[in-house]
Amino acid sequence: MRYLVIMEQGLELGIQGEEFEIRKSGAAIERVRVADISEVLVFGAVALTPACVSLLLARGIDTIFLTAKGMYRGRLAGPASKNVELRLAQFSRWQDNAARETMARAIVRGKIANQRNLLLRSQRELKLDRLASAVADMRRLLDSLESRTGIDTIRGVEGQAAAAYFGALGACIRNPAFGFTRRTRRPPRDPANAMLSFGYTILNLAMESAVARAGLDPMLGSFHSPEFGRPSLSLDLIEEFRPLLVDSLVLRLINRKQVGPEDFENPLGDEEPAWFGEGPEIQTEQPHEPRPVWLAETGRRVFFREWGRRLRESVFYEPRQEVRTMEEIMRFQVYHYARIIKGEESEYRAFVPR
């Protein structure tokens, strides 16, 4: 995914020939070739000229609109896929309870396996009882998954695994400026959670684009139940990629000290935010609940730079017996799902790197 990301407030995005032109107070400050961009992300008060909107639609370049702090608002996209047969097959398969359960189990199996592998890599280096216990618990949950029936039961296994995983994730942090004790969202309560939430948002937006390009309906999944406004299929298909693309990246940014306290902001204005501890453990008993925390513009710039690098990293993709980038593998998994919908393949196989 080749992103054009515009965060500074008050800018304008226009077109000059075959280049995007970013303007400030009417003057061009940067130009980027249209051919080099597959998705545009716009944060806050950024204007798009009519000529720019027309070109984005004509070239099929998805444009995502977010608030200045990174909350999703909407997207500008071209016409929907004309592959009505695929969508009919998708709806038909959703009505098959056994098929939905099989898909949900495969999704959860892949997610837990990738979460466990992330902890296992840290455990080999750190040799902590906390990590060893979580790895063992997740192994037992994986082994039990095959005998569990019913989607709600499978969701319960996923929830138990998530509790074990996030309960141990803080032990993987080796930067004393950061701590992590539990997963908090809507809103995030500490910097690590702020990056996780931001990363999951960006990952889901990328997956929604891939799902739409494949001709699938992003609102109808198997593991995530359909709800008004929820892109259930996109959420299904990002599960296996959360630890691979977001969690591992967040740990890398923290442990390599590529982000620091100055890269976050507290929109409600705490004078002394309580979410930066002196070590990996944070105080959990505080007189006041910590205020919401968000990635500041400097933090988002670092995140996007490293996010692009992560998507371009190459790993072995077993179904094709070849090395491919993570971005390509995400797209391959969407088409793998589509082939199952069409009856060309029998069972979904989540991507779990060897």
Does residue 43 contact residue 80 with C-beta atoms inside 8 Å? no
Q: Distance (Å, rounded) from C-alpha 72 to C-alpha 118?
A: 28
The DSSP string of 243-286 is IIIIIHHHHHHHHTTSS-GGGEE-TT--SS-TT--SSSS-----
Does residue 216 contact residue 86 with C-beta atoms inside 8 Å? yes
Give the phi and the psi of residue 169 in degrees, each rounded to 5.
Answer: -60, -35
Structure tokens at 198: 């931001």
Does residue 178 contact residue 276 with C-beta atoms inside 8 Å? yes
Residue 278's pLDDT is what?
32
Determine if residue 43 is left, alpha or beta; phi over 0 gives left, psi from -120 to 50 gives alpha, anything else beta: beta
Residue 18's pLDDT is what?
92
Residue 288's pLDDT is what?
54
Residue 287's pLDDT is what?
45
Does residue 179 contact residue 275 with C-beta atoms inside 8 Å? yes
Does residue 32 contact residue 40 with C-beta atoms inside 8 Å? no
- Domains of the chain with bracketed CATH: 3-76 (3.100.10.20), 84-341 (1.20.120.920)
Spatial CA neighbour of 111 closest among 37, 62, 164: 164
Specify the DSSP class assigned to residue 225.
P
**What residues does 5 pair with on adjacent strands?**
41
Residue 165's pLDDT is what?
96
Residue 111's pLDDT is what?
97
**Is pTM, for the whole model, over 0.95?**
no
Spatial CA neighbour of 10 closest among 19, 22, 1, 20: 22
**Cβ atoms within 10 Å, residue 255:** 14
Q: Distance (Å, rounded) from C-alpha 326 to C-alpha 312?
A: 6
Cα distance between the two ends of the chain: 24
67-74: long-range contacts at Cβ-Cβ below 8 A with a sequence spacing of 24 or more? 67/43, 68/7, 68/9, 68/43, 68/44, 69/265, 69/267, 69/294, 69/295, 70/43, 70/198, 70/201, 70/294, 70/295, 70/300, 71/201, 72/201, 72/205
Residue 267's pLDDT is what?
46
Q: In what order do the strands lie in the sheet with 72-76?
A: 3-6, 39-43, 62-66, 72-76
**Mean pLDDT (10-residue bins), the chain, 354 residues:** 86 92 92 90 92 91 86 80 85 89 95 96 91 95 91 94 94 91 84 93 91 89 86 94 97 94 69 35 45 85 91 93 94 95 91 92
**Residues, the chain, total?**
354
Dump strand ranges (E) for the chain: 3-6, 12-16, 19-24, 27-33, 39-43, 47-48, 62-66, 72-76, 264-265, 294-295, 314-317, 322-325
Cis peptide before 261 (omega within 30 of 0): no
Residue 289's pLDDT is what?
60
Q: Distance (Å, rounded) from C-alpha 90 to C-alpha 333?
A: 16
Radius of gyration (Cα) for the chain, nearest Å?
A: 21
